[in-house]
Structure 1
Amino acid sequence: MTETREIDFTLQGRETRDGAGVRLTRIFSNRQAERMDPFLLLDFFGSDKPEEYIAGFPMHPHRGIETITYMLHGRVAHQDSLGNAGVIGPGDVQWMTAGSGIIHQEMPEQPEDSDGLMNGFQLWANLPPEHKMTDPKYRDVTADDIPVVKTEGVTAKVVAGKFADVEGPVGDVVIQPEYLDIELEKGASIDHKIPSGHTVFAYVFDGRVTFGETEKREIGSGTLVVFRDGDSVRAQSQEGGRFLLASGKPIGAPIAWAGPIVMNTKEELDLAFKEFRAGTFVKHE
């Protein structure tokens, strides 16, 4: 028998600045890390004023995590210590495994014919202790590579995991993630199966969406929903809505976190910053 996940709690993001002054909304971060395991952080960046984002995120380190950047509008150029360079645009995803250490930058681009709009998401996922020092790697996924599933009143973009038996292009990730962009037309609904025991959240970023079965709650744009355990998520919308739906297998390990580096102990964290200062941070070039 299917057990629908009801809402556990909701969160509103807070406005902040990061990088070289990029204005963004931090939806969750270290205060919720234990409850959100294996996820660490979710940011929404959205502005049509270039001065609020154009300075970007100059060269900075990461270790012990994966970062997932999903662009809705605009373009971001990236470059790293492995020699990778490229640009992600509307609908593209960059799934980066920092592993043992990478130094990179993410710099917004503003073509002359642009309307100035730049928005998207960045999600951080933790790595288990035995994978913290794995080799860094990138998965650059273009919008054309992301399957789009259309059913009655539902459009789902499948980045990772599966929706209606259609699998996304990102696999072989240790936390067994699901990452979906789901749009519901007026009156449409879904009942989507997700493994019991996995952490599941939804972030509504357009319109209004009702979640749950016996404890239905309508959620407006700009709200994060975290679900209790179960094996399916039920969502419907009376006026239309769009949301991210993500899930992953919890790791259950201690977290030692400072800035862009997440390890399991203070000693590991201190060593990472010591190596960064000494110029020995990057293990694979």
Structure 2
Amino acid sequence: MTTSTRTSRELEQLIAGVPASDGAGVQLQRVLTQDLQKRLDPFLMLDEFRSDNPGDYLAGFPDHPHRGFETVTYMLAGKMRHFDNKGNEGLLVSGGAQWMTAGSGLVHSELPEQEDGLMHGFQLWVNLPAQNKMIDPGYQDLTPDQLPTYTSESGAQVTVLAGVSEGVEGPVQRPDTHPLYIDVHLSEGTSHWQDIPAGHNAFVYVYEGEISTGAEGRKVGFRRMGILNNASEATGIQLTALKEAKLLIIAGQPLREPIAQWGPFVMNTHEELEQAVRDFRAGKF
């Protein structure tokens, strides 16, 4: 969609997530996989977990380590308790989020605090620049009332976790990756325009319904990721709900640094990965 001030990005590629199992057997859909890390830099992974079968999620994610990046957990339904070896503890509830900086390393757990009902949410991994990979770990626990929500002029319901949408600033801001993370709810026929900084890598993920994107009107359906192009003239993305839709819009400034990953460790070199393993085994996290 082009006006005197707006030129929309267009859909570059559609991605279908792959079934996966993580933690102690939690069933999930891995949407952003390792082969997309360079294209969607600074984002490393996006998982959606969604089930009303306790057998799919009850074992949760027992103690496990991280180093070198940040994790963002956004809960739509259910309750998850987290602990770490630094003495931090918190409860993620429906509509809340947690932005965790693993930095130099920590060991934590994420365990469901429910025995039945729907467990639904997302975990996004955001890379840290080389200069910050060994900073002190930290948490930013965000209750539902700390995530600003507004209704746009078009009628879209928008929740802002990070970045800015129509002047509404999310609680998380980062100087290196400048992430945008918003949750948009659209009734059928409703549109939403979202500014996206030039140079940011960006994608949408539709977790309910179906949308069309840009002037070309290309569709992104249920549980599909749409990678948006990086057209230099584009100032944002135009979205329209073909049926009632709920979706994430995620964008960030790429770091353009080497990525070396081994499981829960993300560094810049193989040598740094080996050091991470040695430090973890030596109890230095």
TM-score range, shorter chain: over 0.9
* 1:273 match: 277
Q: Residues 109-144 of structure 1: CA distance to partner in whole angstroms, max 9, x if unpaired? A: 116xxx511010000000010111111110000001
* 1:128 match: 129
Q: Contact 2:267/2:273 (CA < 8 Å) preserved in 1? A: yes
Whichever residue aligns with residue 119 of structure 2, its letter is M
Aligned mates of 2:236, 2:162 — CA distance in 1: 17
SS of residue matched to 1:110: coil
Q: Contact 2:187/2:245 (CA < 8 Å) preserved in 1? A: yes
Q: Residues 211-241 of structure 1: CA distance to partner in whole angstroms, max 9, x if unpaired? A: 111x221221110011011221000113221
In the alignment, structure 1 residue 256 sits paired with structure 2 residue 260: yes
Aligned mates of 1:174, 1:122 — CA distance in 2: 20
* 2:172 match: 170
Counting only pairs closer than 5 Å after superposition, residues 82-121 of structure 1 correspond to structure 2 as 82-110=86-114, 116-121=117-122
* 1:180 match: 182
SS of residue matched to 1:238: strand
* 1:149 match: 150
SS of residue matched to 1:157: strand
Which residues of structure 1 form unaligned runs of 5+? none
Aligned mates of 1:252, 1:166 — CA distance in 2: 28
- Equivalent of 2:162 in 150, 160, 163: 160
* 1:34 match: 38
Q: Contact 2:176/2:255 (CA < 8 Å) preserved in 1? A: no
- Equivalent of 1:189 in 184, 191, 214: 191
Q: Residues 56-98 of structure 1: CA distance to partner in whole angstroms, max 9, x if unpaired? A: 1111110000000000000000000110011111000000000
* 1:43 match: 47
Q: Contact 2:80/2:113 (CA < 8 Å) preserved in 1? A: yes
How many residues matched? 277
SS of residue matched to 1:187: coil
Q: Contact 1:11/1:27 (CA < 8 Å) preserved in 2? A: yes
Counting only pairs closer than 5 Å after superposition, residues 3-82 of structure 1 correspond to structure 2 as 3-82=7-86
Whichever residue aligns with residue 206 of structure 1, its letter is E
Q: Contact 1:153/1:186 (CA < 8 Å) preserved in 2? A: no
* 1:233 match: 237
Aligned mates of 2:126, 2:221 — CA distance in 1: 25
Shift of 1:174: 2.8
Whichever residue aligns with residue 33 of structure 1, its letter is Q
Q: Residues 188-221 of structure 1: CA distance to partner in whole angstroms, max 9, x if unpaired? A: 11121110000111000001111111x2212211
When normalised by structure 1's length, the TM-score is: 0.95
* 1:205 match: 207
Aligned mates of 1:147, 1:16 — CA distance in 2: 32
Shift of 1:54: 0.7
Aligned mates of 1:19, 1:272 — CA distance in 2: 20
* 1:140 match: 141
Which residues of structure 2 form unaligned runs of 5+? none
Runs (4+) off by over 4 Å = none
Q: Contact 1:149/1:163 (CA < 8 Å) preserved in 2? A: no
SS of residue matched to 2:181: strand
Could you say what the CA RMSD is over the residues aligned between the two structures, in angstroms?
1.1
Shift of 1:173: 4.9
Whichever residue aligns with residue 146 of structure 2, its letter is D
SS of residue matched to 1:37: coil
Shift of 1:16: 1.1
Whichever residue aligns with residue 103 of structure 1, its letter is V
Aligned mates of 1:117, 1:95 — CA distance in 2: 22
Aligned mates of 2:23, 2:99 — CA distance in 1: 19
Whichever residue aligns with residue 184 of structure 2, its letter is I
SS of residue matched to 1:2: coil
Aligned sequence identity (%): 45
Q: Contact 2:187/2:244 (CA < 8 Å) preserved in 1? A: yes
